[in-house]
Amino acid sequence: MSIRPARMEDAAALAAIYAPAVLHGTASFEVEAPSAADMATRLMQVKSHGWPWLVHVTMGQVDGYAYASQFRDRAAYRHCGECSVYVAPEAQRTGIGQALLMAVVSVARTAGFRQLVAVIGDSGNGNSIGLHTACGFERVGLLKDVGEKFGRPLDIVMMQRSLV
Ligand SMILES: CC(C)(COP(=O)(O)OP(=O)(O)OC[C@H]1O[C@@H](n2cnc3c(N)ncnc32)[C@H](O)[C@@H]1OP(=O)(O)O)[C@@H](O)C(=O)NCCC(=O)NCCS
């Protein structure tokens, strides 16, 4: 079991991990699963800014990833990161999400972020809310019914962790 920076050749694995969350879940508000090429572009953008994108590897297989990028584009947000974490369905609830998120918290500080925000799709997403709570995030807000997926209105839960 190890965590390392993501590499461009991980793009297909990243796409495969993310696709079930897009197609069958409410954590992500995307509705079409990005291709490996799309994930490669996203990875390149994150890396080009010096922001962290980490993968978890079990027996040579990438089974989870987490990254942080600037929360919003405008310059005054430059010290505020937004983090995301996804674990392959068959590998969930084995500690991988927590290991990845804590590693991203640590590297995000080095990358210059002073605050980390998680924008969690679906106030019923106990897995993600539980994980972020376990990693020292606290709930700071709720936006009601701002999304809709599978014919259901969806909230977002905002959670935040200070890095200073
Ligand atoms: C959310 C997600 C990343 C969690 O990853 P994971 O590897 O399954 O989580 P872990 O096994 O590391 O759990 C770590 C801790 O988080 C908390 N946690 C995880 N799932 C939980 C749940 N269903 N209810 C309450 N707490 C939970 C627990 O404190 C857990 O520690 P414990 O197992 O010792 O009790 C994973 O479920 C996932 O990829 N879900 C789909 C996509 C998603 O929601 N991503 C988050 C987008 S913001």
Q: What is the pLDDT of residues 41-68, one digit of tens each?
A: 999 999 999 999 999 999 999 999 999 9
Range of the domain at 49: 2-116
Would you state the pLDDT for residue 10? 98
Instruction: Write the burial class of residue 98 (CB in 10 Å: 0-12 exposed, 13-18 middle, 19+ buried).
Output: middle
Q: Which of 58, 108, 49 is nearest to 80 (CA)?
A: 108
Say whether pLDDT at 149 is over 90: yes
Using the mean position of ligand 1's atoms as its centre, give its distance from the Cα of residue 76 in Å: 31
Q: Which atom of ligand 1 is nearest to the CA of 125?
A: 44
Judge whether 138 lies within some domain: no
Q: What is the pTM of this model?
A: 0.97
**CATH code of 93's domain:** 3.40.630.30
Judge whether 109 lies within some domain: yes
Would you state the pLDDT for residue 83? 98
Number of domains into which the chain is organized:
1
Neighbouring CB atoms inside 10 A of 160's CB total: 17
Closest Cα to atom 5, ligand 1: which residue? 97
Judge whether 134 lies within some domain: no
